[in-house]
């Protein structure tokens, strides 16, 4: 029997999962703002529109035409939000995703300065249109980065979900805020993740936030054997199985923005817990699609994905 063909390397390009992101980037780079505006207006009611501003915010240099747009039309909610998002992205690039102990004082100062520039833009956007969900979602990011505290983050989240119940990006960002590393505690974070599951529509990504919660707990436990022991606890495994059944493994599941990350969290957690059969199911659902989170938590993202995928598919 000939040897099996090698599995393809992981694909971390979001455009492979969501081609519209590539179009949005091209439209932003060419300054085709009317088409972007028309696209946002065409999205079905209830859509989590954060992916649009994130796609635009990742385009290098786009802050320059966006500043001109805001100067010409200071009440343009979309332009305000796009510029605010771009400033948050620029600050995050300077800070990097490294732990705080590996970030210099100068990097932190530049990061905070970009967030302080973004804040008034996003505040104006939400004042002009309190229902514009991407602006509130970005204000959750600035609240966390500027360390405005748990109460302010909750206030912003409550304003967001008042108009957009079950807003996945908002829930994911508040969950991070509730973790101890951002001034929260595990009890509140766990209770919130469970609330997201209880109130989730069948097949939606929201229930998958329990996977993110347990990934953070695994990291806090010290990875390695201690982390694996945490994940192998019967009640933790039961929660993960139930959360997967309610979200990415549910018959009503649809591949909305964020699905690759959620599916990847389940694949990583089941692999780390030694449940290769369940891990293999999630890896097969992914194909070779990947995002830097969660795989960056496990080491080099591409190497980690390949290591755990290959082991799971060989045994599961």
pLDDT at 32 over 80: yes
Alpha-carbon distance of 13 to 227, in angstroms, equals 29
152 Cβ partners below 8 Å, 6+ apart? 143
Distance of CA 177 to the CA centre of its chain: 13
pLDDT band at 315 (very low <50, low <70, confident <90, very high): confident
140, 159, 184: which is the final residue of a domain?
A: 184
149 and 279 housed in the same domain: no
Secondary structure (3-state) at 183: coil
69 and 102 housed in the same domain: yes
Q: pLDDT, tens digit, for every residue of 110-168?
A: 899 999 999 999 999 999 999 999 999 999 999 999 999 999 999 999 999 999 999 99
Secondary structure (3-state) at 11: strand
Q: pLDDT, tens digit, for every residue of 250-275?
A: 999 999 999 999 999 999 999 999 99
Q: Give the helix/strand (H/E) hosting 19.
A: helix 19-29
Closest C-alpha to 291, from 259, 269, 313: 259
Q: Tell me the pTM.
A: 0.95
165, 184, 203: which is the final residue of a domain?
A: 184
205 and 292 housed in the same domain: yes
127 and 69 housed in the same domain: yes
What CATH code is carried by the domain that includes residue 50? Answer: 1.25.40.10
Alpha-carbon distance of 294 to 75, in angstroms, equals 38
pLDDT at 1 over 90: no
Secondary structure (3-state) at 308: helix
35 and 11 housed in the same domain: no
Q: pLDDT, tens digit, for every residue of 196-215?
A: 999 999 999 999 999 999 99
Alpha-carbon distance of 249 to 242, in angstroms, equals 9
122, 156, 184: which is the final residue of a domain?
A: 184
124 and 165 housed in the same domain: yes
**Does residue 24 lie in a domain region?**
no
**Does residue 8 lie in a domain region?**
yes
Alpha-carbon distance of 81 to 89, in angstroms, equals 12
80 and 149 housed in the same domain: yes
Closest C-alpha to 56, from 13, 26, 34, 35: 26
User: What confidence score (pLDDT) does residue 103 get?
Assistant: 79
Give alpha helix (H) positions in 33-145: 33-42, 50-57, 63-72, 77-95, 105-128, 133-145
**Does residue 94 lie in a domain region?**
yes
Which domain range does residue 197 map to?
1-15+189-316
Q: Is 240 exposed, middle or buried (0-12, 13-18, 19+ CB in 10 A)?
A: buried
Q: Find the angle CA(170)-CA(284)-CA(271) to the nearest 5 degrees.
A: 75
Q: Convert 268-304 into a string of H (helix), E (strand) and C (coil).
A: HHHHHCCCHHHHHHHHHHHCCECCHHHHHHHCCHHHH
150 and 254 housed in the same domain: no
166 and 216 housed in the same domain: no
The structure tokens 């495994």 sit at 237
75 and 124 housed in the same domain: yes
Q: Is 3 exposed, middle or buried (0-12, 13-18, 19+ CB in 10 A)?
A: exposed
Domain tally, the chain: 2
The HSE-up count of residue 96 (CA atoms within 13 Å, CB side) is 11
The structure tokens 């990006």 sit at 169
**Does residue 54 lie in a domain region?**
yes
148 and 233 housed in the same domain: no
**Does residue 4 lie in a domain region?**
yes
How far lies 232's CA from each of 144, 287, 314, in Å? 31, 26, 21
180 and 216 housed in the same domain: no
**Does residue 194 lie in a domain region?**
yes
305 Cβ partners below 8 Å, 6+ apart? 10, 264, 290, 295
Q: What is the widest separation between alpha-carbon atoms in the chain?
A: 68
Q: pLDDT, tens digit, for every residue of 155-201?
A: 999 999 999 999 999 999 999 999 999 999 999 999 999 999 999 99
* CB count in 10 Å sphere of residue 194: 16
pLDDT band at 5 (very low <50, low <70, confident <90, very high): low
């Amino acid at each position: 029997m000939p040897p099996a063909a090698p599995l393809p390397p992981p694909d971390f390009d979001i455009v492979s999962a969501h081609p519209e992101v590539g179009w949005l980037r091209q439209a932003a780079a060419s300054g085709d703002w009317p088409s972007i505006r028309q696209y946002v207006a065409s999205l079905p009611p209830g859509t989590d529109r954060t992916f649009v501003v994130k796609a635009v915010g990742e385009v290098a240099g786009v802050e320059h035409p966006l500043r001109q747009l805001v100067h010409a039309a200071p009440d343009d909610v979309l332009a305000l939000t796009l510029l605010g998002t771009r400033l948050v992205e620029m600050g995050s690039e300077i800070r990097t995703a490294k732990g705080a102990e590996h970030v210099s004082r100068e990097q932190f100062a530049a990061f905070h300065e970009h967030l302080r520039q973004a804040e008034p833009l996003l505040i104006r956007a939400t004042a002009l249109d309190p229902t514009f969900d991407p602006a509130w979602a970005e204000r959750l990011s600035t609240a966390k980065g500027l360390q405005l505290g748990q109460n302010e983050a909750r206030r912003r989240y409550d304003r967001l979900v008042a108009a957009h119940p079950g807003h996945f990006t908002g829930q994911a960002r508040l969950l991070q805020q509730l973790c101890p590393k951002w001034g929260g505690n595990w009890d509140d974070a766990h209770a919130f993740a469970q609330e997201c599951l209880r109130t989730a529509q069948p097949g939606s990504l929201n229930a998958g936030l329990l996977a993110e919660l347990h990934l953070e707990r695994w990291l806090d436990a010290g990875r390695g054997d201690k982390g694996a022991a945490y994940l192998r606890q019967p009640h933790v495994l039961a929660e993960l199985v139930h959360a997967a059944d309610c979200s990415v493994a549910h018959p009503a599941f649809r591949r909305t923005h964020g699905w690759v990350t959620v599916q990847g969290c389940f694949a990583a957690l089941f692999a780390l817990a030694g449940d290769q059969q369940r891990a293999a199911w999630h890896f097969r659902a992914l194909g070779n699609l990947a995002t830097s989170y969660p795989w960056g938590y496990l080491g080099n993202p591409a190497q980690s994905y390949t290591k755990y995928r290959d082991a799971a598919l060989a045994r599961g």
